[in-house]
Structures are given as C-alpha cells and as structure tokens.
Amino acid sequence: MPRSVIHTPEAPEAIGPYSQAIKAGGLVFCSGQVPLDPESGELVQGTVADETRRSLINLSAVLAAAGSDLARVVKVTAYLTDMGDFAEFNEVYEEFFSGEPPARVTVGVSGLPKGARVEVECLALE
C-alpha cells in the first residue's frame, strides 16, 4: 500500500523525527499538534482555550494539505496536562466539531512537548 508524507508550512514544523501526517489507504493519520505558532515556532501564550484553538487550527491546516478537512475526521485523541481544563477544552473543541462530532478520547498526561497544556491528533478520511 503506497503512503505519502504530508507537510505544510501552515502548521508548525515537526519538533522530532516524525511527519505532520501520513496519507495511506484512503486515510489521513495526523500527528499530534501542540499550540505552536507556525511562523515563530513558539508556544502561544494565553489560556487553555487559546492553546486548544491554535492546536485545532494547526490540525486543520495539516488536514487541508492532505486534501481533507475537519468534517472528515473520524477519531480524535486529545491530551491535557490538567483534566480540570476539560470543560474549557470542550468549549473550543465544539467550535471546530459541531453537529455530528467524531469519536474521541481525552487523556490526562503529566507533560507535553514545549510545555504545552493541550495536544490533539486525529484520523480522517482522505
């Protein structure tokens, strides 16, 4: 099965040995997006809502580069460093996934790259 690497300057460069996404078998496998500004490479400053919004904008840019979009997402995995931020995360998440949202799991973790409080990855249809 052929696969193709997805890369866009509209989302932050990978901060490790991984691709922004891989397209294979009619699916788009997106790596986790933390709230980095694509131009500066720096973590956005602000609330968990601000971090969530930037992470989802980054994810949307990767999907667009793969020829997909948020409406074609079937599964999301979200990571929060504080599960007390769950409600604030959900408020912003709902702005991006309204109607019939994809399946999702939210995991509490002890830390994320660059000191982020939010990371979001997904699986989407091409």
pLDDT at 43: 97
pLDDT at 1: 77
Q: d(Cα 91, Cα 93) in Å, to the nearest integer?
A: 6
pLDDT at 18: 97
CATH superfamily for domain 3-125:
RutC-like (3.30.1330.40)
**Contact (CB, 8 A) for 116 and 67:** no
Got the DSSP string for 42-80? PBPPS-HHHHHHHHHHHHHHHHHHTT--GGGEEEEEEEE
Average pLDDT along the chain, 126 residues, taken 10 residues at a time: 94 95 98 97 96 98 98 98 98 95 98 97 98
pLDDT at 98: 87
